[in-house]
Amino acid sequence: MSAVKGDVGGVVGRGPRELAADPSLDVGRIRADFPVLRRTVAGGKRLVYLDNAATSQKPHQVLDAMDTVYREHNANIHRGVYEMSEVTTALFEGARGRVAAFINAPHSREVIFCRNATEGINLVAYAWGRDNVKRGDRLIVSILEHHSNFVPWQQLAAEAGAELVVIDIDEGGRLRRDQFEAEVAKGARLVAITHTSNGLGTVNPVKELTAIAKAAGATVLIDAAQAVPHTVVDVQDIGCDFLVFSGHKMLAPPGSGALWGRTEILERMRPFLYGGDMISRVAVDTTTWNELPWKFEAGTSAYVDAIGLGAAVDYLTAVGMERVHAHELELVAYVLPRLLEIPGIVVYGPHTLEARVGVISFGLEGIHPHDVATIFDREGVCVRAGHHCNQPLMTRLGCVATTRASFYLYNTIEECDVLLGAVAKAQRIFA
């Protein structure tokens, strides 16, 4: 099927009207948009890519949007009055508008482009945290956090003389709501919580947690790196103060991502980086800052990556995030019970479909996860083995690493069968 142009920000593979009549995904048509999925590996086996929690593959619509910039109108944004610069600037700012709409931000000026969720969290930790967190304050995180939403707050607490409070999980891998409520009631300057665990696939009730935290006077940051690519995320509905996500996990290139923050908070924050483009006026004795969002986008932005992110948003919007989420749960509903039936396997985290995404972490008795992943690779199956930037969580689970399979909109039931076959082969080899 021929591609259709979006109004700005690149190309999308199909329009929403073409898919609207079908409540399920046409995965075959979607897979055709991803060039890398055509390749064979491991001596001719078809590639089965199940490492989507680490990074996603890119459709040709995103690749084409970026390639067009480089080939036809590559020019620095904001600073040029010639046509190529104006075209690229319009695409860059158009991508910002798309991202704002995708997460239902009230204003596009509240969307700060950054390299990834990690940079967005660090921006808040420095530009908000250094001015607002004082000795004796309490910062609340959870044991589910990615290091990106743990280490910045750990370091800020140490510098400021604040207390870092870590909320535990229950044996099913779900956040302990009772402990969260009890700790927030003791006082909290900041609650920084993951929307969706990259290690277990657990989805936290972030709207409810945010309401509890806000009622206690806390500022709330949501790490949505594993949520925005896989389900509908609405910042106004959640009610948080900050939300971050990475583009590379949602079909966009590495180097793209965004921080969303409330206007009234962002305007009070100091800049994170100093230099070009983030200034209003520079004199020998003083400097004034640019307006939002550019106050936080110093130097030449990764404008091609941001345009790629806009094209990825177009693609996912056309497919429909409800359908993406439903498709992932269909895959989990197929593979999870079959994994649980295998003797010698431990599945970490939720064993049900309730409040989860398409991430399954497991261990095979007597086999190190790295060995498991190596054997899987020989079968053409790409999974992640390690601590997944979740070392506190691994300690809580009593293991040093897990094998993690993570699904996305282009994965199939047939690929789930290949995964199950790879598990059986690993067990035979180590029997």
Rounded to whole angstroms, the Cα distance separating 384 from 372 reads 10
147: CB partners within 8 A, 6+ apart: 389, 390, 391
Q: DSSP state, 125?
A: I
∠ CA(55), CA(59), CA(64), 5° rounding? Answer: 120
Q: Which residues are catalytic?
A: 389
Tokens 């106004």 belong to 236
For residues 105-139, b (16+ Cβ closer than 10 Å) or e, as one string? beebbbbbbbbbbbbbbbbbbbbbbeebbeeebbb
Inter-helix orientation angle 83-102/303-319, to 10°: 40
Among residues 397, 334, 404, 332, the alpha carbon closest in space to that of 369 is found at 404
Among residues 340, 2, 18, 269, the alpha carbon closest in space to that of 127 is found at 269
Rounded to whole angstroms, the Cα distance separating 156 from 161 reads 8
Rounded to whole angstroms, the Cα distance separating 246 from 226 reads 9
Pairing of β 138-142 and β 163-167: parallel
Tokens encoding 265? 């908070």
Among residues 304, 270, 381, 372, the alpha carbon closest in space to that of 115 is found at 304
Rounded to whole angstroms, the Cα distance separating 161 from 159 reads 6
Rounded to whole angstroms, the Cα distance separating 357 from 360 reads 9
Burial class of residue 89 in the structure, from the number of CB atoms within 10 Å of its CB (0-12 exposed, 13-18 middle, 19+ buried):
middle
Rounded to whole angstroms, the Cα distance separating 230 from 140 reads 25
Inter-helix orientation angle 303-319/60-72, to 10°: 150
Q: Are 2 and 29 in contact (CB under 8 A)?
A: no
- Any alpha helices (H) in 141-276, and if so which ranges? 151-160, 177-185, 206-215, 235-238, 263-268
